[in-house]
Amino acid sequence: MFSSFMINTWVVATLVAVVAGTVGFFVVLRGSSFAAHALPLGAFPGAAAADLLGINELIGLVVFSGLGAIGISQLSRKGPHDVATALCLVMLLGLGTLFLSMTTEYSQGVYALLFGEVLGISTSEIAPVAAMSAVAIAAVAVLFRPLLLSSISTELAEARGVSSRRMELCFLGILAFATSISVPVVGALLVFSLMIGPAAGARSLTDRPQWAIFLSVGIALITVWVSIALSYVLNWPVGFFVGSIGALSYGMGRALR
């Protein structure tokens, strides 16, 4: 479990958990669970496009998740937020279908991106994930106060001179970055469970934002560590354990509340 090829798994999964726990707090606070589900699904076709172009799949994930974030932000100005999110998801999935139809060598990669392939992390992936994680955490730290204020009350934020539209775009950008990091590890179908389960459980235990973030990160770390260990022992998909433990953490948080 702690052999040389598994070290990469533990390192990358830890980075992903820290980012997911931090960003997940704002996902829950802003009620943006649908966006947290849609962006990774809309980003995974970017990996297919990257495969066609012969470039790193992380580049494709970042580009497509960024396009999804911009699309949601722009379309939500003229209509309901959930409708804008759904339209962007449908459009990106349509592009993904087109890209996948152009290649016959991507079936295993699609499975890994949908359901996660945490046990197949290579050494070359650590540096990009670490850099992107640092950027995401730094962005949250810099924008913490205005982002928190706009998440609690857009009217109060506007009165304090904080643009809710700008904060929405910044938040979606951070969320897009976080999902790009998490998709190769957890999978597009279950990445939102790592963001929402621990954060929702933490929110049930405390009303203090800083403590809620620390608890969310702690629960996310426990979730991925236990999931990796169980996946290694039982040879079951790591995404199954991430989703199950994430739901369990929320249920326990509500029970303790």
What sign for the dihedral angle of Cα 20, 23, 26, 32? negative
Burial class (CB in 10 A: 0-12, 13-18, 19+), 70: middle
| Cα–Cα distance for residue pair 229/198, rounded to 1 Å | 18
| Cα–Cα distance for residue pair 83/160, rounded to 1 Å | 29
pLDDT tens, position by position, 109-126:
666 666 666 666 777 778
Greater pLDDT, 169 or 51: 169
Alpha helices in 160-208 (DSSP H): 164-186, 191-205
CATH number, domain of 112, equals 1.10.3470.10
pLDDT at 97: 77
Nearest to 44 by CA among 185, 157, 139, 164: 185
* Number of domains composing the chain: 1
pLDDT at 217: 94
pLDDT tens, position by position, 39-86:
887 777 777 777 777 777 778 888 888 888 888 888 777 767 778 888
Average pLDDT value for the chain:
81
pLDDT at 189: 64
Structure tokens at 204: 């049930």
Contacts of 114 (CB under 8 A, 6+ apart): 44, 187, 188, 189
| Cα–Cα distance for residue pair 257/253, rounded to 1 Å | 6
pLDDT tens, position by position, 190-203:
677 888 889 988 98
Full-model pTM:
0.84
Number of Cβ within 10 Å of residue 194's Cβ equals 33
Domain that holds residue 236: 4-256
pLDDT at 111: 65
| Cα–Cα distance for residue pair 205/19, rounded to 1 Å | 20
